[in-house]
Structure 1
């Protein structure tokens, strides 16, 4: 499997009173979400099983989709701010 080294540092702190949703089968690190565990296993450990490799690929795809939606929201917000500033400038200079 070809994968680039990434700087993914999943959140592993489980607050008091909560139980870990998932634990790494290799190093026993607790994770708040299973997807974070899948990303950790794929990035930090070698010799993955077929199921672990599939879970890693699915987690990467889900992260990519969430990041794309986030970028769309940021671009939309910037567009709204730019439009508002443009309209204010037009009104301000027309007086």
Structure 2
């Protein structure tokens, strides 16, 4: 996989980094996702479980975001429709 190069500023240390490729990450959950996507064949069983857990959490967050975005679009649509009905 091709990744965008990431660099850590000189005076800061990364929160964590990948044991397999050395890529730095700001949070442990992002590292778990990276290991599962890029190194699934070589990671341990506990790392696979962490990956599956993070993947499920991310799917839940994405579903919540989509529902909120849909709700906002519906409110915007009916708000504009109501304004058109009033002012036209």
- TM-score category by the smaller chain? 0.7 to 0.9
Aligned equivalents of 1:71, 1:51: Cα separation in 2: 30
User: Cα deviation per residue 1:14-56 (whole Å; 9 max; x = unaligned)?
Assistant: 4454321221111111100111111111111122211100010
Count of aligned pairs: 86
Residue aligned with 2:82, SS: helix
Q: Residues 51-66 of structure 1 correspond to what in structure 2 (within 5 A)?
A: 51-66=46-61
Backbone CA RMSD of aligned residues: 2.2
TM-score where L is the length of structure 2: 0.81
Aligned equivalents of 1:86, 1:25: Cα separation in 2: 55
1:34 aligned to 2:28?
A: yes
TM-score where L is the length of structure 1: 0.76
Matching residue of 2:66 = 71
After superposing on structure 2, the runs of 4+ consecutive aligned residues of structure 1 that deviate more than 3 Å are 9-18
Q: Residues 6-45 of structure 1 correspond to what in structure 2 (within 5 A)?
A: 12-45=6-39
Residue aligned with 1:55, SS: helix
1:91 aligned to 2:78?
A: no
* Unaligned stretches of 5+ residues in structure 1: 1-6
